[in-house]
Amino acid sequence: MVGICSLFSTQFRVFCDSRPRSERDIHEGGSVMRAVKVVVACVVLLFADEACSIAANQQSTRPVQFSRPAQAARPAQASRPAQASRPAQPARRITRLFWQDRSDDSLKWSEVYSGEPWKLKPGVGVVSGFPKLDSEKQDLVQMEYSDGIVLVGVRDQDGGKIQSGWIAVDTGVRAVSHGNHFDWKYQQNPVVKQSVLNTEQGNPAHVNLYDGGFFIANDSKNGFTWISPADLLRPAKANVLPGRFFSGGGSHITMAAVGNAVCYSTWIDGGGPNRGRVDVVNLRKSPSSEPAYSLTLPTGVIHGATTNSGKVFFAPQDGVCWVEADLNVQKSADKVVVNHISLGTDEEGKEPLRTGAFVNHRNWVLFTTGQAETSSLCLLDAKSSAPKLVKVPIDVRDGLSLVTPEAVLAAGGKRYAFVFEDRSEGDVQEELNVIDLDPNGDRNFADATVVKTIGVGASRVEGHYGHHSISFDGDHKFGFISNPGDGTIWVLSLADLEVKGKLETGGTPGALIAVGAAEHHH
């Protein structure tokens, strides 16, 4: 580069100084052209020299590479046939659902299939053989499931004078025990197995399940009927009604049966001689027998009863009462100690707080109480010699109220309670509260706490009817939520508490029961 510049400078001076100035002036045009040519030539030499220098430097820094011998050309390969795309995985059946449709007072069913999206089996329909009810005069009431049978009560609006009773449905699903789990077999479509609807059934409002047996309240007959699922699966006998009728309780009966030995049957009266009355019935004696004895609670309007860990709990007008179960039915009324647990006082009305129904989970009794800021999920340890009230506060907005909880031990080992906040009117967003019953896993629910609140679809509350409902598949992996006002059923994963699917049912789906789980193949 330096050499080129020196050469250019020298040659240009020689050129300019080789002639007298006067001659240069005379021949200016030609001299300039010659000078331009020299400059161009020098510039070309300059860039050539620079390019060579750069190339030399790059060669000096690269490793020496040896050329590869030429490879023989590969023989042409036959093209592979295009692979067929894998077929989509078939949707998996998760459970069979049964739900009451308030729009026509029918019992409908379908099956839920997982996938993207989740789906109901095509052709949602009424259970085969389900009788046509008069939706203006009759109502479906509580229903329970046991050993392949769903039993639902029927109540009319004229004290049982139109037609009341019960309907038993063979679900077509059977559980086969395999050690620590069940395999679920979907053997046939559901069908009505037996049904009793007439003017002699006492207009039941409540159907309860104790020790695998159905207890049906025959309100206007002041008694109840006890039926085992095995009796319902057998062929019906002409002129022979299944089950046994027992006298006990009255008006609007709730029941708590213990060990297939004794049943506590309540009266709802708020005054008079039957205020706070509970009849104690010996289930081992002839059904024609009168109650063994009757005990009296401090207050009346009893609207709920249950049993747990050898105790019997009642829901009267004030708080909760409990007694020790008399399994041998050997006591008398004056020997029974009635224990009372206060639930507190309503902030506005200054009335004592109460509840209306119970559910059980392990040795714990669960129920709800209160309104607005006094609303709570309540828990009692029935194994304790003196159960103490545990309250989980739930701040409920005006216009909403808590309903009876449901509890489950999820497949992942968590114990949850689910409590809906339903509205009777207005457009306040309704919600589902999820309570972790045992955060530290010690089976003591004293540390229970709300872990999630989920907005849900609309209810359609009319008196006792039209509330949300939740039920769980047989493996306790999913919850199924009915939204009566939306005509939908939602799928909730119990693993992450997220809604996985929203299923269109139409109508007004209310109380529902899930039967079975995904089939396992061994």
pLDDT at 346 > cutoff 80: yes
> What angle do the packed helices 28-61 and 2-17 form, to 10 degrees?
170
pLDDT at 71 over 90: no
What pLDDT is attached to residue 105? 97
8-12, 93-97, 265-269: segment of lowest average pLDDT? 8-12
- Degrees to nearest 5, angle at CA 431 with 429 and 435: 160
Given a contact cutoff of 8 angstroms between Cβ atoms, the answer to whether 316 and 323 are in contact is no
Band of pLDDT at residue 293, cut at 50, 70 and 90: very high
Residue 522 has pLDDT above 90, yes or no: no
**Angle made by CA atoms 154, 194, 238, in degrees to the nearest 5:** 120
What per-residue confidence (pLDDT) applies to 14? 38
DSSP 115: S
If DSSP codes are grouped into helix, strand and coil, which group holds residue 397? coil
Q: Long-range contact list for 417-420, CB < 8 A, 24+ apart?
A: 417/361, 417/366, 417/377, 417/448, 418/470, 418/479, 419/368, 419/377, 419/394, 420/456, 420/459, 420/467, 420/468, 420/470
Query: What SS3 state is found at 340?
Result: strand
CB atoms within 10 A of CB 498: 11
How far apart CA 186 and CA 169 sit, in angstroms, is 14
The closest of 88, 89, 94, 90 to 491, measured between CA atoms, is 94
Q: Which residue has the higher pLDDT, 424 or 109?
A: 109
Range with lowest mean pLDDT among 97-106, 213-222, 232-241, 465-474: 232-241
- For residues 362, 365, 367, 370, the Cα torsion angle rounded to the nearest 10 degrees is -130
Report residue 287's pLDDT band, with 50, 70 and 90 as the boundaries: confident
3-state secondary structure of 177: strand
What single-letter amino acid sits at 320? V
Return the pLDDT at 89.
Answer: 61
pLDDT in tens, 329-341: 999 999 999 999 9
Domain boundaries, the chain: 127-301
* DSSP character string of 452-502: EEEE------BTTBS--EEEE-TTSSEEEEEETTTTEEEEEETTT--EEEE
Q: Six-digit token pair at 320? A: 């909760």
DSSP 349: T
Strands (DSSP E) contained in 43-137 are 93-101, 106-113, 119-120, 125-126
Find the radius of gyration of the CA atoms of the chain: 42
Whole-angstrom Cα distance, residue 469 to residue 229? 24
In angstroms, rounded to a whole number, what is the distance separating the alpha carbons of residues 203 and 205? 7
pLDDT at 146: 97
pLDDT class of 85 with cuts at 50, 70, 90? low
Q: Is the pLDDT of residue 516 over 90?
A: yes
User: What is the sign, positive or negative, of the torsion defined by CA atoms of 86, 90, 91, 95?
Assistant: negative
Interior angle at CA 422, CA 416 and CA 426, nearest 5? 155
Q: What is the pLDDT of residue 276?
A: 98
pLDDT score recorded for residue 181: 73
Q: What is the pLDDT of residue 349?
A: 76
| Model confidence at 380: pLDDT above 60 | yes
DSSP string of 208-257, one letter each residue: EEETTEEEEEEGGGTEEEEE-HHHHHSPPPTT--SSEEEE--BSS--EEE
- Contacts of residue 265, defined as CB under 8 A and 6 or more positions apart, other chains included, come to 223, 224, 246, 248, 249, 253, 254, 255, 278, 279, 281, 291
Question: Is the model's pLDDT at 35 over the cut of 50?
Answer: no
Give 437's contacts (C-beta < 8 A, 6+ positions apart): 361, 364, 379, 407, 415, 416, 417, 445, 448
Spatial CA neighbour of 381 closest among 444, 447, 318, 450: 444
Q: CA 49 to CA 41: how far, in whole Å?
A: 12
Mean pLDDT of the chain: 86
Give 232's pLDDT tier (boundaries 50, 70, 90). very high
**pLDDT tens string 185-206:** 999 999 999 999 999 999 999 9
Q: Which residues contact 476 (CB under 8 A, 6 or more apart)?
A: 408, 409, 410, 411, 494
Q: Are 343 and 351 in contact (CB under 8 A)?
A: no
Distances in whole angstroms, Cα of residue 466 to Cα of each of 50, 139, 221, 376: 92, 11, 27, 22
Task: Return the pLDDT at 86.
Answer: 53
CA–CA dist 493, 500 (Å, integer): 7
Nearest C-alpha neighbor of 145 from the set 192, 208, 87: 208
pTM: 0.82
